[in-house]
Structure 1
Amino acid sequence: MTFFATLAGLLVLLYLGVPMFAAMTLLSLGVLWATEGTVATLGEFVFGKLDSYLLVAVPLFMLMAHFMVRGRVVDDLFHTAHTMLRHIRGGIGVATVAACTVFAAISGSSVATALTIGKVAIPQMLRYGYSRKGAFGVVAGGGTLGILIPPSAPMVLYAYVTEASVGALFAAGVVPGLMMAAMFAAYCMATEGRPVATDEAGASRQLERASFREMATAIRKSFWALTLPPFVLGGIYFGIFTPTEAAGTGALWALAIAVFVYRQMTVTALWDGISDATRTTAMLFMIIIGASLYGYMLTKLNAPQELTQLIVDMGLGRTGFLLAMAVLLFLLGLILESFSIILLTTPAILPVLDALAIDKVWYGVLLTLNLELALISPPVALNLVVIKAITGAPLSEVNMAAIPYMAMLALGIVLIIAAPDIALWLPRVAGY
């Protein structure tokens, strides 16, 4: 089977330590040279692939997230969630999930969500009596919401590959994202007690419900940060902005909030934010180049057609195919990051989606949930590496803390397969 043979070759190169973009590029060039006898036209092909207005949205969404982080906006988001929820069982864990949910609607990145919320939330959870396992787990799980709740950089990339509607994908991610957030919050409430505070004498007391005045003050402090998700997503859903325009105006709005409201954006912080977003974008575009060549090579070898015929001959049907893809994506997620998985698998299976009449928007949500699972599945598990870096805890301890959230994400995948309307109801209501 051509697809699996080339995949095996790619995995061998990765095992030898070759970077992802270089492995895909070298493998593709080698195979194309051997089969076609020339690679002279590939430069024009690569530039054509990168010449996409939609791809401009990816660095702009990253820039928006960096501006919010550098502007110290996240502290108020977490403080507001904690103020509102501190009195309930597992309240500070639920507050962490709530903060992750809101920041996910700003950042479009799971790693950024885990890093930013984790820095603020983990010390507070440990301070108020939360278990280490619970604190690490809720940040690992809550961080994954960054790529499911829109805006989402991986969804933009998937839309670019499949030519699906970005607006429909963003709308489709809302309900599943809130469903997963509710699962995570319910788990916190079921496994943790009420938060306690310890005074200087060592005496412990349960945290009391915040007064109306405290709640109003907290909401007022985070008001401007809370305007960003409806500003960006509302502009897309109501047809005011294209996704790329929304990303640009969102980045500008985030910068204005950081500079004029929070007054935390120094020239150094601004430069660092732009530099980080640029480096991440450069890395992503190099992977896109390698993946484009890899997909071109597969097409030349008729691998997508062979894969489609294999699925048809096996008689898996829609559900069997989706479950088989879930297993494949999980295995790939053990060694690859999200963008690479999208670019590696999606072009090859597009004919299969068409043959089995699988909605591309629905599959996009399933793919994103699988990518979330990959983010907390060792050994790559970028969210877990981030938590280790924040806390200095042994990676084995962080890995164990993520297991319940891996199970909940797997349950989410099964629910979306069993009930497609969980993902497709909102896009249908929105007119996509």
Structure 2
Amino acid sequence: MPLQLTGAPGDPDLIRLPWQLPLEEWPEHHLVTLPRGISRHIVRFVRLSGHVYAIKEISKRYAQREYQLLWDLSRHDAPAVEPVAVVTGRVDAAGEPLDAALITRHLRFSLPYRAMLSGTLRQDTLVRLLDALAVLIVRLHLTGFYWGDCSLSNTLFRRDAGAFAAYLVDAETGELHPVLSEGQRLHDIDVAHMNIYGEMLDLSAGGFLHASVDPLAFADQLYERYHRLWKELTQEEIVEDVEWHLIDQRIRRLNSLGFDVAEMMVRRKAGTARLVVRPKVVDAGHHQRRLLRLTGLDVEENQARRLLNDLDSFRVAKGLRHEDEAIVAHRWLAETFQPTVGAIPPELRGKLEPAQLFHEVLDHRWFMSEAEGGDVGLAAALRSYIDNVLVFKPDEAAVIGEEPDDETVAAAEPETRAVDVTEG
């Protein structure tokens, strides 16, 4: 069979890579040096035309299956890496067959768990990490996706305002169903619990985990957070006929978690005056969709929440309470967001994505205002942030093979030092 690349690659140079060589023998000039998690397969990163791709060597059957699963997840708008192509028909110089290769697009601004959990990590950061992973598993289960091998190694994390957003990386063992059974869900979260406990023990044994972190307690918290979130999203609620305000409270509570209620199922409980209410369809990304509709900005959920809060503050400050929301959003975008992002020097713009950068400027403004005893203003906060914070952050360009020097690393906050690495 001749060499064949199937998918939507978009970059013709992909077919020109040295597919006749096993991945572990690829020349260094083709590769980007990035940290990788523990994997059963050889994974390499390449940079072509300014884009970074992850390439995994795997059998043809599993490469095609995983490509299709990732493609199906993308159609469901599930948080997962983007599939690019499958390469089959590979043979070496002697004509011996080689495994196929799965190509996915590198997730920019993503963090591997080993970079985040090593060293002195604050307890609140661990909590945010667990929340992100729990939300990821719940979203996948609501989609009907059974992961089969959920672990930290198979997950990437991106900054999402003060929290994190988690993305599935490895779907090799996954299955997509119309609806998951209770047994499938519980087995999947049991596997996740076992895998994460093992990964924490591995980090602890290697001296990479802070002594205050209990591996079993860490894994148990994920289990508890998953079940609490699943119950909040799917449980039935019994209300009296006169207590319809509780339904509104339920919807607002779900919105605060980042989920939209597309439909409610209500039925009367036999023999009583009570109603049984259950969210029938729940979609994630409530704040994302609102911000995208108003401004065209496509960002993470908590970033969207923060930007919307600033938009609401802008409305009040400008005396626009009764103005149309779309008009206010256009003014905020033109007068606040775009000028702030545009004021960043070109050589510093690769350090953080625009929404995260804007969020951090707002945080910096709050801390400065607290210290000064009054609002310092956005312009002053932006200048201070650039001079005293942003210049010391590792640059996204570091993932292309440059490492920040020791002085730069020392100046970075503990939880942001690895902002420019990823894994496969």
Q: Specify if TM > 0.5.
A: no
Q: Which has the higher helix share?
A: 1
More strand by share: 2
Whose RCO is larger (CA < 8 A, sep 6+)? 1
| Rg larger in structure | 2
Band of TM-score, shorter chain: under 0.3
TM-score (norm 2): 0.24
